Amino acid sequence: MRSLDLSPLYRATVGFDRLASALDSASRQDDSAYSYPPYNIERLDEDSYRIVMAVAGFSEDELDVTAKENTLTITGKKAAVEDEQTKYLHRGIANRAFERRFDLADYIKVAGARLENGLLTVELLREVPEAKKPRTIKIAGQSKVIESEAA
């Protein structure tokens, strides 16, 4: 794997250290660690996103969705149940615990989550504060000041 040189990014930006760190860590990730459970990330419109994760076999009590600062963490932990009566010929349904983290951009908030038909859906919404939205600045013209000479 080729190393990613982020030095030009550091030379031309201020305050984007977290972004550079995220890019650096993403370039080092092993894809096999991110194969379970499968998920989709959807962009619904300019300010709305959705994460849909396949969590078949998990109940609401066994799933946890936590948002802290700019990180969304979804964890699943199955209750330990030993079924000695069942003799499996093939066991393909995973019952293993998982933890999946998503780095969220600034102002992305979790709007809600629901579990339906084995799919966990997490709705995300960008809420930019009014003070951070672009605004037009009026340019004042040069005003003429007439000074009177007192005699």
32 has pLDDT over 60: no
> pLDDT at position 34, please?
60
What is the model's pTM?
Answer: 0.67
Residue extents of the structural domains in the chain: 1-35, 36-128
84 has pLDDT over 90: no
pLDDT band at residue 35, thresholds of 50, 70 and 90? confident
> pLDDT at position 114, please?
97
> pLDDT at position 137, please?
86
> pLDDT at position 135, please?
84
34-49 in b/e form (b: 16+ CB < 10 A) is eeebebeeeeeeeeeb
What is residue 61's three-state secondary structure?
helix
Angle, vertex CA 66, rays to CA 61 and CA 98, nearest 5: 65
pLDDT band at residue 143, thresholds of 50, 70 and 90? low
Domain 36-128: which CATH number of 2.40.50.140, 2.60.40.790, 2.40.160.20, 2.30.30.110: 2.60.40.790
pLDDT in tens, 87-106: 889 888 777 899 999 989 88
pLDDT band at residue 16, thresholds of 50, 70 and 90? low
> pLDDT at position 111, please?
95
Angle, vertex CA 22, rays to CA 68 and CA 77, nearest 5: 45
125 has pLDDT over 90: yes
